[in-house]
């Protein structure tokens, strides 16, 4: 699990893609941030939970399976691209973001970008049935608060710290980002969908954890 608070930016050194999947090699811009990473550890790359398969000097390698490539924007990576990096959270750490699983739900396209004083407003086109105003959402793995929701797009506001320390500062109109909806919203929707299929009885509530 992750918090959506990006620790550092990574730089793509190599991205090899074929019918079997992809191999991604990258380095951290702040080496000490990832000095404790071991082979087999989970790491969030643009919000996608991946497993470190090899450590080579200053570089880390991960394997990306086809299912992940199909549902995320990782297939668009190329050498020199910046990627958001976060290690799995520790139980002893402060929980400042929101619960991010690293399991991408879909991608979204950048609709508009507007400066708003020291902040920046960015809107994205995607399904919004699981998004609420002032709710949480992860965009390229970054924990953000939704400032506006319409039928086919939502908007977030980036503070200077987020602009400085994540790859969201590089976004342009029509760019594709990874989206992970709030975990609780997905569970609630699943519960509601199930309840529509049958009468809500005492037995039904017990079966669903109530």
Write down the residue that tokens 């953000």 correspond to: 144
Q: Would 139 be classed as within a structural domain?
A: yes
Q: Are residues 57 and 25 in the same domain?
A: yes
Q: Would 162 be classed as within a structural domain?
A: yes
SS3 20: coil
> How much is the pTM?
0.87
Name the residue among 122, 115, 120, 119 with its Cα closest to residue 137: 122
Q: Are residues 133 and 60 in the same domain?
A: no
Q: Are residues 59 and 123 in the same domain?
A: no
* % the chain with pLDDT above 90: 75
| Measured distance CA(103)–CA(68) in Å, rounded | 9
CATH number at residue 44: 2.40.30.20
119-130 pLDDT, tens digit per residue, is 999 999 999 999
180: exposed, middle or buried (Cβ count in 10 Å: 0-12, 13-18, 19+) = buried
Q: Would 28 be classed as within a structural domain?
A: yes
79 token code pair: 């050498």
47-79 pLDDT, tens digit per residue, is 999 999 999 878 999 999 999 999 999 999 999
| Measured distance CA(95)–CA(153) in Å, rounded | 28
SS3 76: helix
Range of the structural domain that residue 132 is part of: 106-187
Q: Are residues 81 and 121 in the same domain?
A: no
Is the pLDDT assigned to residue 33 strictly greater than 90? Answer: no
Q: Are 121 and 114 in contact (CB under 8 A)?
A: yes
Q: Are residues 21 and 70 in the same domain?
A: yes
Mean pLDDT of the chain: 91
Q: Are residues 168 and 119 in the same domain?
A: yes
Q: Would 98 be classed as within a structural domain?
A: no
Total domain count for the chain?
2
Q: Are residues 83 and 128 in the same domain?
A: no
Q: Are residues 76 and 23 in the same domain?
A: yes
| Measured distance CA(31)–CA(201) in Å, rounded | 55
């Amino acid at each position: 699990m992750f918090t959506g608070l990006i620790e550092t930016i990574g730089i793509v050194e190599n991205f090899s893609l074929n019918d079997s999947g992809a191999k991604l090699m990258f380095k951290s811009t702040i080496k000490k941030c990832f000095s404790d990473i071991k082979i087999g550890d989970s790491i969030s790359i643009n919000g996608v939970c991946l497993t470190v398969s090899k450590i080579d000097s200053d570089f880390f390698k991960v394997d990306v399976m086809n299912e992940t490539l199909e549902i995320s924007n990782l297939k668009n990576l190329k050498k020199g691209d910046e990627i958001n990096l976060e290690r799995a959270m520790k139980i002893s750490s402060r929980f400042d973001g929101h619960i991010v699983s690293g399991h991408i739900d879909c991608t979204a396209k950048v609709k508009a970008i507007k400066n708003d004083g020291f902040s920046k407003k960015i809107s994205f086109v995607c399904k919004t049935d699981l998004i609420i105003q002032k709710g949480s959402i992860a965009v390229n793995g970054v924990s953000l608060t939704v400032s506006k929701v319409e039928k086919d797009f939502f908007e977030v506001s980036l503070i200077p710290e987020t602009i400085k320390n994540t790859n969201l500062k590089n976004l342009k109109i029509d760019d594709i980002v990874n989206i992970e909806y709030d975990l609780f919203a997905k569970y609630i929707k699943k519960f509601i969908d199930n309840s529509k299929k049958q009468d809500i009885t005492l037995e039904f509530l017990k079966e669903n954890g109530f």
